[in-house]
């Protein structure tokens, strides 16, 4: 419904990103479906696919995409960053052991009460992680 490869270049341009070959490769990989990938995973998959992309470009591109709102960067585990292809408001389950993330549709979480932003501030986003342990 959103980003067929053919539209990708347009989509990137619309979000202020010059659509180069490497950026299109990274975008088509990550935006193919709702998913959470690390930089290393993305680099690995590109190289499996025979694509030549440097680690620096992967990081540069992911940071650029996150800054332009093409993807969302999740800082969950402290150790490494996860990049989420879903930029719509939503929440996450997180496996305590592996750190793996699963999307939660926004309607699965309803807040009855949230604190107002303190004076001089405004909401910039709500991050909700429900940690799960296997039993």
Partner DNA sequence: ATATGTGCAAATCCTTTGCATAGAA
Partner DNA sequence: TTCTATGCAAAGGATTTGCACATAT
Selection from a second copy, DNA, none that 38 binds (CB < 5 to 8 A by kind) is: DNA
Residue length of the chain: 135
Q: How many residues bind a second copy (CB under 8 A)?
A: 38
Q: Can you tell me which of 2, 5, 28, 40 binds DNA, judged by CB under 7 A?
A: 40
Q: Are strands 101-104 and 91-95 parallel, antiparallel or unpaired?
A: antiparallel
What does 66 bind: DNA, a second copy, none (CB cut-off 5 to 8 Å by kind)? none
Taking the C-alpha atoms of residue 9 and residue 51, their distance in angstroms, rounded to an integer, is: 18
3-state SS, one letter per residue, for 52-94: CCCHHHHHHHHHHHHHHCCCEEECCCCCCCEEECCCCCCEEEE
Check the CA dihedral 71-65-122-78 and report its sign: positive
Place of tokens 């190289």: 47
Q: Among the candidate windows 27-35, 46-54, 60-68, 118-126, which touches a second copy by CB under 8 A?
A: 118-126
**Site for a second copy, residues 47 to 106, rule: CB under 8 A:** 73, 75-81, 93, 96, 102, 104
Smallest distance, Å, CB 66 to a second copy? 11
Contact 109, 128 (CB under 8 A): yes
Q: Which of 20, 89, 96, 105 binds DNA (CB under 7 A)?
A: 20
Query: Is residue 108 involved in binding a second copy (CB under 8 A)?
Result: yes
Using CB under 8 A as the criterion, which residues of the chain lie in contact with a second copy when the complex forms? 73, 75-81, 93, 96, 102, 104, 108-115, 117-118, 120-135
């Amino acid at each position: 419904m959103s980003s067929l490869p053919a539209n990708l270049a347009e989509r990137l341009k619309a979000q202020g990103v010059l659509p180069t070959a490497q950026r299109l490769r990274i975008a088509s990989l990550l935006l193919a479906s709702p998913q959470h990938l690390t930089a290393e995973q993305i680099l690995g998959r590109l190289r499996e696919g025979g694509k030549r992309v440097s680690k620096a470009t992967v990081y540069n591109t992911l940071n650029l995409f996150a800054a332009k709102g093409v993807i969302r960067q999740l800082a969950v585990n402290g150790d490494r960053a996860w990049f989420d292809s879903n930029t719509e408001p939503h929440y996450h389950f997180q496996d305590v052991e592996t750190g793996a993330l699963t999307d939660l549709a926004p309607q699965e979480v309803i807040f009855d009460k949230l604190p107002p932003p303190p004076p001089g501030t405004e909401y910039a986003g709500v991050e909700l992680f429900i940690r799960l342990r296997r039993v």
